[in-house]
Chain A
Amino acid sequence: MTRTESITLILKRIQILGAELAKPELCKATEATKLFGESSSLDSMGLVTLISDLEEDIRQQYKISVTLVDEKAMSRLTSPFRSVHHLADYITMVVNDRKS
């Protein structure tokens, strides 16, 4: 999985979520979009939905089951869930690790 594929996967899912939650700002998400914190349009449950949906997207597209929230993710110095940019790096790494 390339990083560009990760970005595409995440942005597509955020746009779907934006439409569902009636939050048009999410439909304009970019790589710099924050996923949690005061400047994020996602609340904590929105982030849970995003992560859970992405796990299923990965399973469907790459035929592998991944758990994105685990001890490895939680112990990282910089949270992989901070922004689209960080999440893309993390997903690319997790998927490629699983595939190798």
Chain B
Amino acid sequence: MPTAVITGTSRGLGRALTERLLSLGWYVYGISRSSSRINHPHFQEYLADITNEQAVQQVANSIKETGKSIEVLVNNAGAASMNAFLLTPFKSAESIMRLNYLSTFNTTQLFGKIMARQRHGLIVNITTVAVPLNLEGEAAYVASKAAVEALTRVTAREMIAQGVKVIALGFGPIDTDLTRAISRDKIQKINDQISRPSGTTLSEAIDFILEKINNSEIKSGSVEYLADIR
């Protein structure tokens, strides 16, 4: 039974991806601050703050003790921040960077060590089309996800020596809590910019992630978007 570790499983994309993988026969370890309330014999949830190195270390140790190999890590947990750059409080920028970038750094290192030991594994970092679009009003968010993309490319080059691949997958606005604060007009404008006028559903995003997970030939270090960006 293949095993995945997914962060941010309490809601949105992380929760939906967990449910899909469980339905496909995967074993899933979820890490989130609040409970997903998913009740499945192949799902184990850890309530932890992924920006806390010690907390994630404890989760990694606990998973190691099971002796299960980990095929996939999905760094999904994240937060967005909509604000003009000149009005964005430093604390907001710091908190976005911690949650989006440093938590990815943390989990990639801790679970990457497990995968390196196995000599196989795939790490999927979730990013956003806001990076290539250089979306105005999202400077802190875009910078944090650009850092995730850079981390993806560098870690891919380093960890391929241990048989571990790292990729980043990005989406336009998906109807989750993350995008609720964005106006409908702005969402439509972004969807038009990425040639997806009808938007992206959770199901389409998950299909895209699964297509990449199931592609054994996928190029490590690649950053791909479910979008047509010109």
Interface residues in chain A, defined as those with a beta carbon under 8 Å from any beta carbon in chain B: 20, 45-46, 48-49, 52-53, 55-56, 59, 65
Contact = CB atoms under 8 A, between A and B. Distances in A.
Contacts of B116: 49, 52-53
Contact of A55 (B113, B161, B162): B113
B62 to A, nearest CB: 12
25 contacts: A20-B119, A45-B158, A45-B161, A45-B162, A46-B161, A48-B158, A48-B161, A48-B162, A49-B116, A49-B161, A49-B162, A52-B113, A52-B116, A52-B117, A52-B162, A53-B116, A53-B117, A55-B113, A56-B64, A56-B113, A56-B117, A59-B61, A59-B64, A65-B57, A65-B61
Range class of the B interface residue count: 10 to 19
Nearest to B112: A52
B14 to A, nearest CB: 26
Top-10 shortest CB links A-B: A45-B161, A56-B117, A52-B116, A52-B113, A49-B162, A53-B117, A65-B61, A49-B161, A65-B57, A49-B116
A52 B115 CA distance: 11
Contacts of A56: 64, 113, 117
What does DSSP make chain B's interface, helix, strand, loop or mixed?
A: helix
A59 B117 CA distance: 13
A20 B161 CA distance: 11
Contacts of B161: 45-46, 48-49
Contacts of A45: 158, 161-162
A56 B61 CA distance: 10
Contacts of B162: 45, 48-49, 52
A59 B61 CA distance: 9
Nearest to A20: B119
Contacts of A65: 57, 61
Contacts of B119: 20
A52 B119 CA distance: 12
A31 B12 CA distance: 53
B87 to A, nearest CB: 37
Nearest to A46: B161
Contacts of A46: 161
A49 B61 CA distance: 19
A44 B117 CA distance: 16
Contacts of B158: 45, 48
A20 B119 CA distance: 10
A30 B30 CA distance: 43
A65 B64 CA distance: 12
A65 B61 CA distance: 8
Interface in B140-187: 158, 161-162
A60 to B, nearest CB: 9
A21 to B, nearest CB: 9
Contacts of A59: 61, 64
